Amino acid sequence: MVKVAPSILSADFSRLLEEVERMEKAGADWLHIDIMDGNFVPNITIGPMVVDALKGKTNLFLDVHLMVQHPEDFLEDFSRAGAQLLTVHLETCVHLHRVIQKINELGCSAGVALNPATPLNGLDYIMEDIQLVLFMSVNPGFGGQKFIPFTLEKIRKLAEEKEKRGWEFEIQVDGGINEETAPSVVCAGADILVAGSYLFNALEPKKSIEGLKRLSSGKE
Ligand code: DX5
Ligand code: ZN
């Protein structure tokens, strides 16, 4: 079944823990935490201190999406703060293989994210070393943007190749996910849906999460 990961970017930060609890009660699987440095992306969010503040306060899997230059400088800090998955952007890593190894050595799962216009071939030699591929379906930096349809083809292509080769990483899709866009995303092969504005603005997030999960009935 597809997993749902609310992105706290759209949470009310003045009541962050309550917001996280609201998503946990609504049936979320993961908590997606967007880290932005004002350099790789045109926005700044939070650092390891905020992740650390949530550690032990929620049972949700802590999924940290690093939209920062030189992510290798921050892996230890986020791992110590409680991150269970660390996703780095392909566009930010000169030594991608080394970064992935470092993440795994720290005891975290390793993810690699691709911007909408980034081709798949940068992943060619690391498919067996990673636990997750994150497809950005908007240009990273802000919540509430419109889903970019051409990313579907990339998702489909990787999902087919994954099936053929027996690779084990999960496919996550992030940006513009809602009840209208999610069906084609799941159909293309997504295992985990990240949704920020759609879930945090929902009056009944439980219904919205159930709706997203229902799309995958039929998928194991
Ligand atoms: C965008 C972030 C996303 C963002 C998604 O740069 O990586 O996780 O919060 O927000 P929505 O779901 O509103 O597009
Ligand atoms: Zn994200």
Burial of 91 (0-12, 13-18, 19+ CB in 10 A): middle
Query: What distance in Å separates the CA atoms of residue 114 and residue 122, rounded to the nearest whole number?
Result: 9
- In this predicted structure, what is the pLDDT of residue 219? 59
The secondary structure of the chain in percent helix, strand, coil, rounded to multiples of 5, reads 40, 20, 40
Q: How far apart are CA 103 and CA 5, in angstroms?
A: 21
| CA 7–ligand 2 middle distance (angstroms) | 6
92/174 Cα distance (integer angstroms)? 18
Furthest-apart CA pair in the chain: how many Å?
46
- Whether the CB of 48 sits within 6 Å of ligand 1: no
pTM exceeds 0.85: yes
C-beta of 177 in contact with ligand 1 (< 6 A) = yes
The amino acid occupying position 8 is I
Name the token pair of 1.
């079944």
Q: Which two tokens stand for residue 69?
A: 């230059």
Residue numbers in the chain where pLDDT is lower than 70: 217-220
Task: Please state the atom number of ligand 1 nearest to the C-alpha of residue 176.
Answer: 14
Contact of 85 with 63, CB cutoff 8 Å: yes
Q: What is the pLDDT of residue 119?
A: 98
Across the chain, what does the average pLDDT equal?
97
pLDDT tens-digit profile of 86-115?
A: 999 999 999 999 999 999 999 999 999 999
Catalytic residues: 34, 174
pLDDT tens digits for range 122-155: 999 999 999 999 999 999 999 999 999 999 999 9
pLDDT given at position 217: 64
C-beta 34 within 6 A of ligand 1: yes
Residues in the chain: 220
Give the model's pLDDT for residue 82: 98
